[in-house]
Amino acid sequence: MRLSPRTRLRRMGGHLSPRSMVTATRLLRVRMLNGALSLAACTLTLVPAGAWALNVDQVLRVGEQQVVSRGDFVRAAVKLLNLTATETDASLPYVRVPSAMEPYVRAAHEKYALRAFGKDLQLARSITRGQAAQVLAALHSLEGDGDTSYEDVDANTDEAKAIAAVVARGWMEPQRANYFGTRRVLKGDEAQSMLRRALGQSDTEPAELPERLERQKAQAQTITINLTGGTTSLPKQAILETVWQLIQSDFLFEDNIDADEAAYRAAEAIVQSLKDPYTSFLRPAGVSSLNTQIDGEVSGIGAQVEQRDGILTVVTPLRGSPAEKAGLLPNDEILKADDTVLTGLDFLQAVEHIRGAQGTRVRLHIRRSGAEFDVTVVRDMVKVPEVEITWQGEIAVVTLLQFGRTTDTLLRGEMEKIEAQNPRGIILDLRNNPGGLLHAANIVVSNFVRKGSGVAQIISREGERDDSTEFTPTISMDIPLVVLVNEGSASASEIVAGALQDHERATIVGTKTFGKGTVQQVVQFNDNSGMKMTVAEWRTPKGRQIDGAGVTPDVVVEYDADRDVQLLKALELLR
């Protein structure tokens, strides 16, 4: 699989043919090769939603002026291009290949991308600019004309052809008009820049955001994935094709044949077969909804919901929302909207029955702890303020309502202002916070622990990695911290609470959290449909499992409808 900077995708015209019935014409261009489905191209947009999506800075973690090793560059390029070797048992013609590097070396070897290093790869050695150009050009199967005006590059060599290819595409630049700098070692900032450009990502970082936060804003980026290295067959493909062919040729009610609807339902059925409540195919309206939620706007009743075992379940009502005013609580199951049964519907179909125009009413049939009753909610537009800061005497109360872009980019500045006022203590209120961006959780933790402290263990099919803080703390270590949580604290909220608890930096007060310990990635197709898919599980820095278990507070304080006894307990601990 190769990533290309192209961002457009040609669509098949006309009706869906029997040979390609399973994949929607609006999703990707397909052609048949010997009975197997070959994916020619598919445009994806990586949309952050509490999800973990690889980017250059995460994969190639080096300082701007740090020398990049051969091994680090090859591993980063192979991972970012999502390349895998087709032959995993064949012997490699190299000496001293570490076992951890073997998958990346195999994938690069099959693309003839390691010829610049010889038989002894010496992966710990620094990589030169010329070698990096050859690796990247080979991984993309690119070759220039070999003519060169650079005095340090021999014409018509593999190096000259690679340099011509990467310079022509703007991935690298010569150091002077007639001097490429092919023997100069590659530094971190240039390595990350050339990889971003090769992936078609933005390589600009506005100066007004401190500590290089611009790359962390988690804005959507569009890339094209070319699947030219093999074929992908659909399960029971022949049967599915035959079913579609029979429908096209013999089904009586021809007006009922809708190719797009058939394709969407096929995609939904494939995803539903995974039996994961957090993985779903998203029709076009669904991806837009996720984007606006991360931006802090929620329409409808104003409740964060998840589908669990086919039942729409309230994670938390947003503060001040119609859902909260109507008395909805975390873990309420929404069985009906007006007269429509929601159980068993696709997640977004169920949600669409609840949403509606501002000022309209929806009657919800709720199941709570076995009892069932109706609640009428007046729909409204809800703007999530994300961060609220108040003071209780000398104690700062920082309330986070979700982990969106505001938290990701602005919270550290607000915490610096709190530090300047020399507080007696800080209360971080994460109650009814449904989560959001994974990196925003990292930002929150970074305010209270030393740089490089663990935030979470991320476990995926590719292996395990540790997510650690990247910035120095804004709050002095001697300022006590209490974190408030409840059953509506989910996902990123649990990452923060679990990390601060593991580091013994905070006292956790309240009730056990929701227990969502998985990471979702959202990919968006070129017709604005997409898929939200579980790609990883996270655990606390000490390896505690959160999924299905939640975070247990150090001090358990049950909810009291008459007064905020949880906040009162936090204040008591700090005074």
Say if residue 120's pLDDT is above 70: yes
Please give the pLDDT value at position 127: 94
Instruction: Give residue-wise pLDDT tens across range 485-516.
Output: 998 888 899 999 999 999 999 999 999 998 98
DSSP 415-432: HHHHHHT--SEEEEE-TT
111, 336, 516, 532: the catalytic one is: 516
Please give the pLDDT value at position 277: 82
What φ, ψ does residue 403 adopt, rounded to 5°? -105, 80
Say if residue 74's pLDDT is above 90: yes
Say if residue 19's pLDDT is above 50: no
- Listed ranges 99-103, 202-206, 226-230; the one with the highest mean pLDDT: 99-103
Does 538 or 292 have the greater pLDDT score?
A: 538
Q: Which amino acid is at 466?
A: D
Does 16 or 320 have the greater pLDDT score?
A: 320
Mean predicted confidence (pLDDT) in 201-223: 39
CATH topology (fold) of 385-521+536-574: 2-enoyl-CoA Hydratase; Chain A, domain 1 (3.90.226)
Please give the pLDDT value at position 65: 84
Task: Provide the residue ranges of all domains of the chain, joining segments of one domain with +.
Answer: 56-200, 301-382, 385-521+536-574
Say if residue 362's pLDDT is above 90: yes
Distances (CA, A) of 420 to 45, 388, 413, 472, 477: 41, 18, 11, 16, 14
Q: Give residues with Cβ within 8 angstroms of 77, minimum separation 6.
A: 108, 135, 136, 139, 195
Q: pLDDT tier at 441 (50, 70, 90 boundaries)? A: very high
Annotated active-site residue 217? The verdict is no
Does 539 or 146 have the greater pLDDT score?
A: 539
Listed range (66-80, 185-199, 203-217, 313-327) with the worst mean pLDDT: 203-217
Listed range (18-27, 57-66, 320-329, 397-406) with the worst mean pLDDT: 18-27
Say if residue 384's pLDDT is above 70: no
Annotated active-site residue 202? The verdict is no
Instruction: Give residue-wise pLDDT tens across range 32-71.
Output: 222 222 222 222 223 333 333 457 877 888 888 888 989 9
Residue pair 262/245 in contact by the 8 Å Cβ criterion: no
Mean predicted confidence (pLDDT) in 101-114: 91
CATH topology (fold) of 301-382: Pdz3 Domain (2.30.42)
Helix ranges, 421-467 (H): 438-446
Please give the pLDDT value at position 289: 56
Listed range (140-149, 322-331, 534-543) with the worst mean pLDDT: 140-149
* Exposed e or buried b per residue across 48-86, where buried means at least 16 C-beta atoms within 10 angstroms of its C-beta: bbbbbbebbbbbbebeeeeebbbbbbbbbbbbbbebebe
Please give the pLDDT value at position 149: 83
Mean predicted confidence (pLDDT) in 194-211: 61
Listed range (10-24, 144-158, 428-442) with the worst mean pLDDT: 10-24
Tokens (6 digits) for 234: 């659909």
Listed range (154-168, 394-408, 516-530) with the worst mean pLDDT: 516-530
The CA distance from 2 to 267, in Å, is: 23
Please give the pLDDT value at position 141: 87
Q: Report the mean per-residue pLDDT for the chain.
A: 80
Residue pair 465/458 in contact by the 8 Å Cβ criterion: yes
Which residue do the tokens 């104690």 mark?
395
Please give the pLDDT value at position 560: 81
Say if residue 156's pLDDT is above 70: yes
193, 289, 446, 491: the catalytic one is: 491
Listed range (259-273, 400-414, 442-456, 540-554) with the worst mean pLDDT: 400-414
Neighbours of 389 (CB within 10 A): 14
Does 32 or 108 have the greater pLDDT score?
A: 108
The CA distance from 428 to 389, in Å, is: 10
Please give the pLDDT value at position 190: 92
Contacts of residues 115-123 at CB distance under 8 Å and 24 or more positions apart, as own/partner, are: 115/158, 116/158, 116/159, 117/70, 119/93, 119/94, 119/95, 120/94, 120/95, 120/96, 121/70, 121/71, 121/94, 121/95, 121/96, 121/97, 122/70, 122/96, 123/69, 123/70, 123/71, 123/74, 123/97, 123/98
Please give the pLDDT value at position 47: 34
Please give the pLDDT value at position 398: 96
Please give the pLDDT value at position 25: 27
- Partners of 387 in the beta sheet? 400
Does 20 or 88 have the greater pLDDT score?
A: 88
Does 84 or 73 have the greater pLDDT score?
A: 73
Say if residue 165's pLDDT is above 80: yes
Contacts of residues 168-176 at CB distance under 8 Å and 24 or more positions apart, as own/partner, are: 168/144, 169/5, 169/142, 169/197, 169/198, 170/197, 171/136, 171/197, 171/198, 172/129, 172/132, 172/133, 174/150
Does 309 or 392 have the greater pLDDT score?
A: 392
Mean predicted confidence (pLDDT) in 516-531: 80
Tokens (6 digits) for 372: 């069932």
Residue pair 521/535 in contact by the 8 Å Cβ criterion: yes
Please give the pLDDT value at position 61: 81
Listed range (68-77, 274-283, 305-314, 461-470) with the worst mean pLDDT: 305-314
Please give the pLDDT value at position 290: 57
The CA distance from 402 to 384, in Å, is: 8
Which residue do the tokens 């995609």 mark?
267
Mean predicted confidence (pLDDT) in 548-566: 90
Say if residue 312's pLDDT is above 80: yes
Say if residue 534's pLDDT is above 60: yes
Say if residue 169's pLDDT is above 90: no
The CA distance from 191 to 468, in Å, is: 22
The gap from C-alpha 270 to its chain's centroid, in whole angstroms, comes to: 21
380, 502, 529, 532: the catalytic one is: 502
Annotated active-site residue 491? The verdict is yes
- For the chain, give the longest Cα–Cα distance: 81
Angle, helices 405-420/438-446, rounded to nearest 10 degrees: 10
Please give the pLDDT value at position 530: 83
Please give the pLDDT value at position 270: 92
Please give the pLDDT value at position 82: 82
% of the chain at pLDDT higher than 90: 41
